[in-house]
A and B are shown apart, each in its own frame.
Chain A
């Protein structure tokens, strides 16, 4: 309080007060930039530097300038490991992420809309299962039995369905909450204008769900892209590797190639980073709208 009063006093004198305020905002700005540099850029620089070192140097794990730049050698080594396994893994991860997130968005938007708008005796049952999906942990071996009996085990289709299923409950809750904020009058107006249920959903409701859709896409794409355990258990086999699984190529208890490991991490970090650069406005908007309306 006293500090504020002290700062407020000089403002009345005009010039000196304004400079003081400007200095203060500058200081705050600089401090926050430095802080964010530390939190976000320093780890990234560390990854980059370690990825540029030779194996002996990288094993120190120190924040130093590389003595010999081996960035290109490491890149080639990582890309050619196991006959280009990593390129294959990128394709797999991309397919997995895009398709499973697409399924999640479309299906959960429909379910969320219906759960919110239509009152029926089925609602409590559906709600129960949605909550159960959030609470009950998935068991590995029985899930594999189900997949085996459907002949979906060891296939990308099987893993996509698993990822979509595991993410569905969370998405449905988000959509259901968001649909509540859309005025029912809009639906009624569309119905009076002669729209059928399908057209009502796709042309009137879905565009209005855009903010929460972006939230869901961002959250789930990150979750699926970064998932390690599900691909490990449900999609064994080298040709099925996803990017997170490739990290283990360079790491073991008694011998690790830190330079190659960090190069791999660098490569894996790039796609989400590029996505963020292109879509950051929508992502931030989607996050905040999701946060307020949720």
Chain B
């Protein structure tokens, strides 16, 4: 009996081992190009809109280039995604083409040593100079835009404005006066804040950078060199405005716990009047409140002086090719990047992505029927009243800004205290990056 059991145990162990090895062998089989086609891989973030756009792009691309097949790979976005990108690049496992942020997050990838320089490509000439600067280092240009730019500022409900006979404010005092009127009319939250998703709290400061830039065009450079501080004017303005808005009691009553989705709902349905946020919010409005798309508009976060009011623009993400992509794959990868920036590629972009602002390449034009919100942004472009967000001009962005702005926006810290806290936070980041002067 005992002998039988022992043998059975051995058999079980052996069977387990065999089963495992069969499974493992099945999983480790790799793909390859057998029919003379070059296969390249393309990595994108795995949210549904991006994947749908990428699939449509691949279909169109493969139709035009029959000798190349593109395999889509996905990964999460956010902090995990940032770490994963760096891990993949440093272990040589990056896909042949990948889609990632431009600006300071790109700089953190050390593009000079990890990415292929694309400055010689034909499509580069059609890029706006603002975009060029956010995908370049001193040694080369590394990225091709995919998607439209977006603005950071106030998304407002046009119906509320019409009913109360308000006009778009150009100074901070106008903005506060408008908000007071909305408050007195009752029923509608004058300013929407959603600290349930802490990142949304930063917009008072981040979207104010256009105004800082207008007042002091050299600010970003001096800031990187440790010669400008948030605790001083003009940059302190952003923190001060947030504090003033809180003290005047203009926020929605559940501002401390409301989420981004709540904020989008309020602004789309008119239970909130003004929401400082990124205009990418139009995608959520299109998905969840398609009937209200025409009810929302945009204006830049007003500065103290009307002349300084400037829309802060976030550049689109871009496509990059890592240095590990070589030979035939490199040629194919460059073809894909060029296709994305061709008229055919633009068509896919405009049909599959929510257009949240103008394009940054002349190869793409805005479709004729865009939501009013996008038209509002376009006006700032036409008036040349735009400036890039700080994260595209300086590599320094403190990781705790969102916590600090929640403090300021909830009345826990004063504007001055908050700005000083943030200057401290930034210091650590700058030292970590090894920037001179810190």
Contact = CB atoms under 8 A, between A and B. Distances in A.
Contacts of B20: 99, 102-103, 160
A241 to B, nearest CB: 8
Interface stretch (B62-70, B275-283, B405-413): B275-283
A82 B51 CA distance: 8
A188 interface: no
A155 B281 contact: no
Contacts of A254: 260, 278, 280-281, 283-284
Of A99, A245, A248, A258, the most chain B CB neighbours within 10 A belong to A248
Contacts of B289: 56
B27 A195 contact: no
A26 interface: no
Interface in A47-61: 55-56, 59-61
B63 to A, nearest CB: 19
A238 B73 contact: yes
B6 A141 contact: no
A166 interface: no
Interface string A213-225: 0000000000000
Interface in B64-84: 72-78, 80, 83-84
Interface of B: 2-3, 5-6, 9-10, 13, 16, 20, 23-24, 27-28, 45-51, 72-78, 80, 83-84, 87-88, 90-93, 199, 259-262, 264-265, 278, 280-281, 283-284, 287-289, 354
Contacts of B84: 232-233, 236
Contacts of A237: 73
Contacts of A253: 77-78, 199, 260
Contacts of B23: 95, 99, 156
Contacts of A144: 87, 91, 93
Size category, A interface: 35 or more
A256 interface: yes
Given A95-B23, A157-B28, A252 B284 contact: no
Contacts of A170: none
Contacts of B284: 59, 254-256
A92 B9 CA distance: 26
Contacts of B280: 254-255
Interface string A141-172: 10011001000011111001000000000000
A54 to B, nearest CB: 9
A156 B24 contact: yes
A249 interface: yes
Interface in A102-140: 102-103, 106, 140
Contacts of A236: 73, 75, 84, 88, 93
Contact of B45 (A61, A198, A252): A252
Contact of A82 (B74, B75, B261, B262): B74
Given A60-B265, A198-B6, A254-B283, A55 B24 contact: no
Contacts, number: 128
B46 A202 contact: no
B258 to A, nearest CB: 11
B113 to A, nearest CB: 16
A102 B80 CA distance: 29
Given A157-B27, A232-B80, A256-B261, 19 more contacts: A82-B51, A95-B23, A102-B16, A140-B83, A140-B87, A141-B87, A144-B87, A153-B91, A155-B28, A157-B24, A157-B28, A199-B3, A202-B5, A203-B9, A238-B72, A248-B77, A250-B47, A250-B48, A255-B283
A258 B259 CA distance: 13
Contact of A155 (B5, B16, B27, B93): B27
A245 B199 contact: no
A229 B79 CA distance: 12
Contact of B287 (A55, A103, A141): A55
Nearest to A257: B48
A19 interface: no
Interface in A192-208: 195, 198-199, 202-203, 206
A177 B288 CA distance: 56
Nearest to B47: A252
Nearest to A245: B76
Given A144-B91, A203-B2, A255-B283, A248 B46 contact: yes
